[in-house]
Every structure is written in C-alpha cells, then in structure tokens.
Amino acid sequence: MIILVLLALVNVSCRNKKKTRDGLDIITLTLDWTPNTNHTGLYVARELGYFKEEGLEVVIQQPTEGMTDNIVANGSSEFGISYQENVTRARSESIPIVSIAAIIQHNTSGFASLKQSNIKTPKDFEGKRYGSWDSPSEHDILKTIMKSYNADIEKVTIISGINDFFSTIGKDADFEWIFYAWDGIKAEIDGIDINYLPLRDLHPVFDYYTPVIITTEKLMQEKPELISRFMRAVSKGYRYCIDNPEKAAEVMIRQVPDLDPELVRQSQIYLAREYQAEASKWGIQNEAVWSAFANWMHHNGLIKDNIIPKNAFTSQFLP
C-alpha cells in the first residue's frame, strides 16, 4: 500500500511539471476532506476561468485522511487546504509548510447539542457525554474552555470515534463539535432545534484560522510568481462567492453534483458573511492570532518546540 501511495505521488509530481496543449501550467491543489462550501471559491475560479486567465490548469484532488500536509510538504501538490493547528504542529516539527490565506476570517465551529439537553454554557457540559472525533488538541481545547467557566472536564464522559453529528447526537453523545456552515445549517434545514456555542465566543484564543491554504517555503522561494498567479485567481473566486452567494452555490452544485443542493445554497449564504467578515480583504491573516494559538499549544504540550508565528503564514501573495 505504501508503494502504491508513493507511486501515485510520483505520478502527480511528474504531471505537475507539464503544460497543457494550450500552454497552461498544470498544478495540483489537495483538499482537506470531501468538497464543501469552504472550497467554493476554488471551484468558482476553475469554472469561471479565473485560473485559465492566470495561465493555470488546477487539478483539485481529495486526499487520504490526514495526508494533505504531507502531500504538500513533499512537493507532490503545490497547494493544499489545511488548518492553523496543523501548520503550527508541522512547523514545530521543522516541516516548512506555510499558510498563504485564511479561507474564513473567524473560527465558525463550536459545540452543538439538542435543545432538549438544555446545554447553554460550558458549565452544563458537566455530567454529559461528549462525542469526540479524536483530534490531537480536542481534549485540551474542551478542558481550557470548561476551566474558564469554572467547570470540571473530569465530570464529562468522552465518547471516542464520533464522526456524524446527526446519527449520534442525543443517542451516543449529548454534545459534539461541529462546523456551523455545514452541520449547523443542515440542522436549520431539517428543523432540528440545537443549542450552539461558538468557540470564538467561548475563549478568544480559539478564534483561530480554519481552514487555510498552504504551500511550501521551497515553492515560495523558487516560484513566487506562480503562487501570485494562483492566489489572484483564488481571491477572485472567493470575492465572487462573497458578492454572489446564490450564483456561487450553483457553481458548486454543478461542480460537485453529489452534494445536497439546498444545503449548499444555504451554507453559501451563511459563509458569504464569514469569508472576509470585517477584514480589509479576503484571505488576510493576523500575527496575533497565530501567536496566541501557538503559545496555547506549547503551554499545553501539544507541540514540543514553539514556533516563530510570523514565519508560519504570509499575506504577501494576496492581490
């Protein structure tokens, strides 16, 4: 299996050195997971010809779970979708990936429960079952939030291996971590009443960037002009999503027809307000956000060596 994966990555790497018959540079972008409205700007840029205007043909591929950072780091994909947490952990381990844009300006995830569970604050987590997706920092984030509300995480029963909110909430677990733009909007559409506690409202350090677009220091040094071309097209794609959420949703539905059309439409309207929020332009990142979360990770032993925050991200390629 390892040999097959390596051969696949070699094939991708070889393909990325080629041009199309029209002279377009072929590059690869690896998603973080299955396509969703976090990615709409990328599909808009492809369908509406923004990549082609920059002389690019972009192959959008889905990764094996947890592999995107490695695929980008080893040069098999020029760009990828990741998270501030992953980039921080990678750089702490001397893996030189860099975030070049924040897809969403604020953290749009949080803890959700059925309204009937009456969970209104983190203090109410006590005596409840938490459905965990088993991420490396999940327990520590929950612990930090509960501590700030004078609550004891030892009074929470952690249920591991929970991945689907709708099939497990109220059955296997009492509260879970969701991304509102997807599961929260789906709950609205399905008429499921939930209580939702956004992480960014519970503790300021957890208003970190998720997701982000990544590349490598090597590509930044060797082909900065390629990154600038890519980011001009991507920025234009997300600007289109902000200004035209209904039309952007239709693009996503055409590009990924397996998605629920109504969920895409409603999620796109929600994210149109969140992609840029109050920032001066789409994609920009703040050093204070990177510093605060890295310090928290280091303090909690999630990374052995702290990072230099200003080296973990850049806004230099944003148009």
For residue range 5-44, what is the model confidence (pLDDT) as tens digits? 443 444 444 444 577 767 899 999 999 989 999 999 999 9
212-216: strand order across its sheet: 56-61, 25-30, 79-82, 212-216, 97-102
Q: What is the C-alpha separation between 93 and 142, in angstroms, rounded?
A: 24
For residue range 151-210, what is the model confidence (pLDDT) as tens digits? 999 999 999 999 899 999 999 999 999 999 999 999 999 999 999 999 999 999 999 999
User: What is the number of other CB atoms lying within 10 angstroms of the CB of residue 30?
Assistant: 25
**Which domains does the chain carry?**
2-106+209-312 (3.40.190.10), 109-206 (3.40.190.10)
Residue partners of 265: CB distance under 8 A and separation at least 6:
246, 249, 253
Burial of 57-90, coded b for 16+ CB within 10 Å and e otherwise, reads: bbebeebeeebbbbbbbeebbbbbbbbbbbbbbb
Residue partners of 172: CB distance under 8 A and separation at least 6:
129, 131, 159, 162
Q: What is the C-alpha separation between 197 and 130, in angstroms, rounded?
A: 14
What DSSP string describes the chain? -HHHHHHHHHHHHHHHT-B-TT-PEEEEEE-SSS--GGGHHHHHHHHTTHHHHTTEEEEEEPPSTT-HHHHHHTTSSSEEEE-HHHHHHHHHTT--EEEEEESSSS--EEEEEEGGG---SGGGGTTSEEE----TTHHHHHHHHHHHTT--GGGSEEE-----HHHHBTTTBSEEEEEIIIIIHHHHHHT--EEEEEHHHH-GGG----SEEEEEHHHHHH-HHHHHHHHHHHHHHHHHHHH-HHHHHHHHHHHSTTS-HHHHHHHHHHHHTTSSTTSSSTB---HHHHHHHHHHHHHTTSSSS---HHHHB--TT--
Q: Model-level pTM? A: 0.92
- Phi-psi region for residue 301, left (φ > 0), alpha (ψ -120 to 50) or beta? left
| Cα Rg of the chain (Å, integer) | 20
Residue 66 — pLDDT band, cuts 50, 70, 90? low
pLDDT higher than threshold 90 for residue 136: no
Is the Cα dihedral 121, 122, 123, 127 positive or negative? positive
For residue range 274-312, what is the model confidence (pLDDT) as tens digits? 999 999 999 999 999 999 999 999 999 999 999 999 999
For residue range 72-119, what is the model confidence (pLDDT) as tens digits? 999 999 999 999 999 999 999 999 999 999 999 999 999 999 999 999
Per the CB < 8 A criterion, the answer to whether 303 and 95 are in contact is no
Is the Cα dihedral 163, 168, 173, 179 positive or negative? positive
pLDDT at residue 17, rounded to an integer: 55
Higher per-residue pLDDT: 182 or 65: 182
Per the CB < 8 A criterion, the answer to whether 131 and 172 are in contact is yes
